Amino acid sequence: AEFELARIQDATVDIHGVIPTLLNYGNLQLRTASEHERFIFKQVWHPHAAKDEIVRACLAERTRKENQSTTLY
């Protein structure tokens, strides 16, 4: 399944257990405003950093789209 980056509404990280905490891996869940609402990426290395990067990219994409729609030709 696919989704548009700008349609991400929420990103959460779940890390359970001592080993995942020590090794810094966990599940990353993205919620979108699309047909397939939830996407779960399991056993992601550095999930908080991945989440932060996805949120930054999402905001940049939204800004880019807003600027495109307000540009006069």
Q: Would the pLDDT of 23 be above 90? A: yes
Paired residues of 39 in beta bridges: 30
Instruction: Give the pLDDT mean for 52-61.
Output: 95
The pTM assigned to this predicted structure is 0.83
Q: Which H or E element spans position 40?
A: strand 38-45
